[in-house]
Amino acid sequence: MKIAYLTGEYPRATDTFIQREVAALRELGFDIRTASIRRTGPEHIVGPEQAAEQARTFAVLPATLNLGTLARAKLRALRHPARFLGALRLAWRTAPKGLRGRAYNLIYFCEALVLARWMQDAGITHLHNHIAKASCTVAMLASHLSGMPYSFTLHGPDDLAEPAHWRLDEKIARAAFVACISDYARAQAMLHSARAHWDRLHVIHCGVDPARYDRPRPARGARLLFVGRLAAVKGVPVLFQAMALARPQRPDLTLTLIGDGPERAALTKEAQALGLAPFVSFAGYRDQTAVAAALADHDVLVLPSFAEGVPVVLMEAMAARLPVVATGVAGVPELVQDGVSGHLVPPGNPDLLAAAILSALDAPAAMGEAGRARVITGFDSRAEAQRLATLFRSVGPGHPRPPVRP
């Protein structure tokens, strides 16, 4: 099979799990051609591996802005006028209300024209999209234009925040299958789709390579680590408050933040206001190798998010035998078992977060081992790619539907 992989921006430092999935499918013999709506900015490309992946990824929007390319794509599509008009009607019918929504969907239609032509020229047989927002609209329209089947991976929380706006019901109805990253995501997809379409909703976890994180660990200390985008949804101010509460009991407590984002300047000021500046380090984006090294050099991974899917960084930390402290939102409890492989706390509560951090610093080695075992059995990227491969191979008439968890 020759499969096109589409998402809004690829590759990107914050979405390395997609890159791992692509690599694992290629190892299984699939010919994967990657496409990205936008060309990722250099600040989000970390390391030579991502730079090489970006170089061979087709950028849809820049190609669409080339009027000659767009005109040739339109002429190609008009060879099948029924498909062309059907896709145009679909774009109009599924557009969000108002002139702005209509305008955006017409842009997505133009992008779909260019994507469909690129796929046909490349000999693509199936289109798969990650994240069910704008890029999935493009995928749905390109599928209609080209006659190729498409599927998508449903994440969260962004995918699920506005299901009516993004017409999740229509996307599910037209997809060959939907890979939901958790049982929670699948339940939300069931809530927003017709009963007749539930059998195409499957659970495929995002995954990591456990071997990458199997490293010797130094003597225990009080080094906290956060890895993620510095954005409001991640709840970093609550982590700062919890750290201030915990430091009287653990004056050796430090925190490293790996990642960047729109909240960095405000968080720097907040750390200073709380007197934490000498103990907090902003490391910026790091590649996968550097993140693995950081996990080996710290003692607890903390993720105080207000909303999540199933965070890959928790998988990475657990694979590194690191106790984790996280908020029990969405699919997180499907990965972290409270008191066994880590600690779960309600979001937005610095007192409980501080208590959980102090407990994790004294956690027995068994907690780290339990976390690694959980990742190996349920979140290994190669095993998850094999499950996804089962879904790709099931597309087409005469193939029985795989089970919910292939």
- Over residues 33-84, the pLDDT tens digits come to 999 999 988 888 888 889 999 999 999 999 999 999 999 999 999 999 999 9
- Is residue 72 in a domain? yes
- pLDDT, tens digit, 9 for 90 and up, residues 246-264: 999 999 999 999 999 999 9
**DSSP-assigned beta bridge partners for residue 343:** 325
CA distances from 375 to 168, 253, 354 (A): 30, 27, 25
Structural domain harbouring 247: 211-378
- Res. 1 pLDDT band, cuts 50 70 90: confident
Q: Is residue 308 predicted with pLDDT exceeding 80?
A: yes
Residues 286 and 245 in one domain: yes
Residues 229 and 199 in one domain: no
Q: For residue 37, what are the contacts with CB-CB under 8 A and spacing of at least 6?
A: 6, 7, 8, 9, 59, 60, 61, 111, 134, 135, 138
Residues 154 and 249 in one domain: no
CATH number at 31 reads: 3.40.50.2000
- Is residue 400 in a domain? no
Residues 165 and 307 in one domain: no
The token duo for 121 is 């020229």
- Is residue 78 in a domain? yes
Q: How many domains does the chain have?
A: 2
Q: SS3 of 242, please?
A: helix
Q: pLDDT averaged over the chain?
A: 95
Residues 231 and 254 in one domain: yes
Residues 172 and 292 in one domain: no
Alpha-carbon distance 117 to 109, whole Å?
13
pTM of the model: 0.91
- Res. 215 pLDDT band, cuts 50 70 90: confident
Residues 241 and 349 in one domain: yes
- Is residue 11 in a domain? yes
Residues 262 and 369 in one domain: yes
Q: SS3 of 115, please?
A: helix
Residues 86 and 21 in one domain: yes
- Is residue 406 in a domain? no
The token duo for 393 is 């191979």
- Is residue 336 in a domain? yes
Q: What is the pLDDT of residue 190?
A: 97
- Is residue 49 in a domain? yes
Residues 157 and 272 in one domain: no
Q: For residue 81, what are the contacts with CB-CB under 8 A and spacing of at least 6?
A: none
- Res. 158 pLDDT band, cuts 50 70 90: confident
Residues 225 and 134 in one domain: no
- Is residue 182 in a domain? yes
Residues 219 and 188 in one domain: no
Alpha-carbon distance 345 to 325, whole Å?
8
